[in-house]
Amino acid sequence: MGSNKIQKQLEKLENNLKNIIDKKEKEIQVLKEKLNNEPQEGGWIKIPETDYEVTKQVLHKDKSYDEIMKLKKPEEELLTLKMIGIICEHPDLIKELKMDSSSTNDDFFFKQPFPQNEKIGRVARFYADSDYAGLGCDGDSDDSDSNLGVRFVRALKGKKK
pLDDT digits (tens, 9 = 90+) for 75-123: 998 888 888 889 989 999 988 888 877 776 777 777 766 777 667 666 6
pLDDT at 137 over 60: no
Rounded Cα distance between 97 and 117, Å, is: 27
Residue numbers of the domain that contains 22: 1-36
Please name the residues in contact with 21: beta carbons below 8 A apart, sequence gap of 6 or more. Answer: none
Per the structure, the count of domains in the chain is 2
Q: Tell me: do 113 and 50 sit in the same domain.
A: yes
Residue 148: inside a domain: yes
What pLDDT is attached to residue 53?
A: 93
Number of residues in the chain = 161
Q: How much is the mean pLDDT over the chain?
A: 77
Q: Judge if pTM exceeds 0.85.
A: no
Q: Tell me: do 48 and 121 sit in the same domain.
A: yes
| Residues 87, 56 contacting (CB under 8 angstroms) | no
CA 77 to chain centre: 11
pLDDT at 145 over 70: no
What percent of the chain is modeled with pLDDT above 90?
20
In this structure, what DSSP letter does residue 12 have?
A: H
Q: Tell me: do 64 and 121 sit in the same domain.
A: yes
Higher pLDDT residue, 20 or 71? 20
Segment 48-78, tens digit of pLDDT: 999 999 998 888 877 777 787 888 889 998 8
Residue 161: inside a domain: no
What pLDDT is attached to residue 99?
A: 81
Rounded Cα distance between 12 and 153, Å, is: 51
